[in-house]
Amino acid sequence: MLKSWFQSTFARLAFPCWDEPIYKAKFDVTLIVDEGLTALSNMVTTFTSIFICVYASKLFERYLNIENMISETKVNDKKVVKFATTPPMSTYLVAFAVGQLEYIEGKTNRNCTVRLYTSPGKKNQGKFSLEVGIKALDWYSKWFGIDYPLPKCDLIAIPDFSMGAMENWGLVTYREVALLVDPTKSSTRQKSRIALVVAHELAHFWFGDLVTMKWWTDLWLKEGFASFMEYVFVGANYPDFKIWLHFVNDELASGFDLDALRSSHPIEIEIDNPNELDEIYDNITYAKSNSINRMLCNYLGEETFQKALRIYLKRFQYNNAVTADLWKALSEASGQDIETLMSTWTKQMGYPLVSVSQKIDGRNRILRMNQKRFLADGTTDEKNSLWQIPITISVSSEPESIKERVLLKGFQQDVTVNDVDPKDWIKLNVGTTGFYRVLYSHDMLHALLPDFATKKIPVLDRFGIANDMFALVKSGRESAKQFLSLLKSSSNEDDYTVWSSLDSGISELSNVLSHYDPVIRSKFNKFIIKILTPVADRLGWEAKPNEDSQIALLRALILGRLGRCDHEETIKTAREKFLEHIRNKTELHPDLRLTIYGMMGRHYGKEGFQQLKEIYETAGFGEIERNCIVAMPQTSDTDLLKEVFEYCIQNGKIRSQDIIYLFYGACVNKSGQDFAWKYFKDSTKLLLQKFGGANSSLFQHCFRTSADCHCSSVMVKEVEDFVCSYLGADEARTINRTTKQIIESVHLNEQLLKRNADVISEYLAAADF
């Protein structure tokens, strides 16, 4: 299949153009293709003609006026396909695709034809995405107050596609695994992710295609809003996915992690060189931008937020805008100075840590709040960055409600919350909607913890407490003992969102301990097993009829962690289910498949690899193939790891776009991390060739994954030497920001271990482990 990809600066390689987003034009596209192939572009087909040779065909002159541009050689069994003129749009949105394709179709409420194209034999796997696409076009048209302006919309599933998806106006291209669903094989998580990806790309029809940023500095205007609107749409139309519960782990926490680094960057970032662009398609442009949109929407209210976006889109449709234009529309709709408020979030990097203490005065609670930049290494920000922070406050008598709203503008501010029972706890950042962390005074935190354990605190607030606590541990502001105590109190926790955050902390501690002392790591595993076993017993292995999607995800998370902690009973049961799956050719429950495959790859050596390899080669479905790629390299056997990587990469058994999953799988244990880093260095030339250069996000992901899990100054030196010795000067400049972030992450791992190794050892000893 042939397909185009012009974002950000590749249209110039296909046709002469002013290849910058500010220069919009109308495009006439004509393709000459083999007669038996389907040709697609942004607009509908207006003319198709089959011809035998260019001498005999006056159709070129009559319909295309390109006769003089065609080489005078005989061209058999070709056809000319001409497409209607596009609306004014930027060059990076021009697209075409050619191949042997089949499709299914439907229509929107305004009779726009929506088609989903696949390779032959796969079109029925597109039914769910087609449904999502049609719903999204109708819903966005109504929500934005502007109808989708093109006469058709095509979604196409592409087997080999380095990026996840691309929002070409009228012809959206997707990697197969991001579009195709099999009702018996697709996991709940994957189905929800597909809904988000489809909705994300179609949101771009308004944010990015209809209204485009003037320059890449304002890339967030399209990516941040498409990322936010995908959640608004899926939350409104597919409530069973409970998508806002996933938001905090997938978006908010990801933005927090990257933006806590000194090597982060502002949302509005100056771009002077095209090679710099690939480095900013990251969790600042997507996850942080998405999160501050959620914060602002909650601050203003959805009705005001929607009104502002309608003003913005109508004012700049078929044109270009900058961030200040958006702030102006939001100010008009709200009657507030939004530019002053939000510029603190987009023009400077980082985010605040709000420290809070209290004084009880009868039924009045006097809070003293201080803000400073949160840095993951625990150091002080020399710039004294200051934010305008929308603070929300709740109390234990009404934990779901916002008791007080405050806009914290200065470094310190006192706030009085009236009519609060002296025994009530007070919590900041209700629903964890704000892009800031909270450090409570000792008495305020310990008032919250009992209701955290009993789940009287709402789920998103429990997430916020857990996520903030581990970040504070990692930055040296809290002891690991505090986090371990929180874990110990969580055996009754039954929410996936909370456990997902807790599990991230478990994973980081487990990783650094594996680089330190196997004995302490083993004791830590036993501690985690004791906490998780009651949770696993309640969940069991079998899904119940009409089970909540969160329960299915929690089961996979808990059993997966028990397997990584070497829990024998869990591993044994997983093997039994896997062998039954092999013998009887039955399907594993899709939500448990990766968990079970991972245990086979990790604990059953050559036998596990051979069985997973056979499944991979016969699966014929993208999600299962990817599960196998992640599972096969999870062994700690270095010789077997070499065989797995050679099979997958040197022998070309997996697509280049999937190599990153091989690195993810290998890096779940220390042996795999050591192997993956050595392999990455030794195979740099091969990987650069497969990915098309160091500016490829896939190359950078492999670099990051294989390196930033380590935790020693020796590794820092190795990363620096690698960039100097293995890459050219231009390549090194291209990945400069990525390199700095890797080095900083390794330092953070090292500090986490140094600060807490003895603390963890003493805590486990005191608990008889």
pLDDT 10s digits, 682-710: 999 999 999 999 989 999 999 999 999 99
Per the DSSP assignment, residues forming a β-bridge with 407 are: 390
| Among candidate residues 459, 460, 479, the one with its CA nearest the CA of residue 469 | 479
Cite the residue boundaries of each domain of the chain with CATH code 2.60.40.1910.
Answer: 351-452
Whole-structure pTM value: 0.95
Whole-angstrom distance, CA of residue 699 vs CA of residue 688? 7
Q: Which residues contact 37 (CB under 8 A, 6 or more apart)?
A: 98, 99, 100, 101
Could you tell me if 339 and 328 are in contact, meaning their C-beta atoms sit under 8 angstroms apart?
Answer: yes
Whole-angstrom distance, CA of residue 572 vs CA of residue 560? 13
- What pLDDT is recorded for position 271? 85
Positions marked active-site: 201
Domain 99-347 class?
A: mainly alpha
- What pLDDT is recorded for position 69? 39
Cite the residue boundaries of each domain of the chain with CATH code 1.25.50.20.
Answer: 535-767
The side-by-side arrangement of strands in the sheet containing 30-34 is 30-34, 78-83, 45-51
Rg (CA), the chain: 27
Binding site: which residues? 200, 204, 223
pLDDT 10s digits, 624-653: 999 999 999 999 999 999 999 999 999 999
Burial of 685 per CB tally in 10 Å (0-12, 13-18, 19+): exposed
- What pLDDT is recorded for position 21? 96
User: H/E element holding 354?
Assistant: strand 352-361
Could you tell me if 258 and 282 are in contact, meaning their C-beta atoms sit under 8 angstroms apart?
Answer: yes
- What pLDDT is recorded for position 585? 87
Binding site for Zn(2+): which residues? 200, 204, 223
N- to C-terminal Cα distance for the chain? 57
- What pLDDT is recorded for position 50? 63
- What pLDDT is recorded for position 60? 47
What is the topology classification, in CATH, of domain 351-452?
Immunoglobulin-like (2.60.40)
Cite the residue boundaries of each domain of the chain with CATH code 2.60.40.1730.
Answer: 2-98
CATH number at 535-767:
1.25.50.20
Residue 486, token pair as written in the block: 């929180």
- What pLDDT is recorded for position 66? 45
DSSP string, 54-69: TTT--HIIIII--GGG
The architecture that CATH gives domain 2-98 is Sandwich (2.60)
Whole-angstrom distance, CA of residue 457 vs CA of residue 469? 15
Whole-angstrom distance, CA of residue 159 vs CA of residue 119? 8
**Helices within 418-493 (DSSP H only):** 442-453, 459-474, 480-488
| Regions of the chain with pLDDT less than 70 | 48, 50-76
- What pLDDT is recorded for position 51? 56
Number of H helices, E strands in the chain: 28, 22
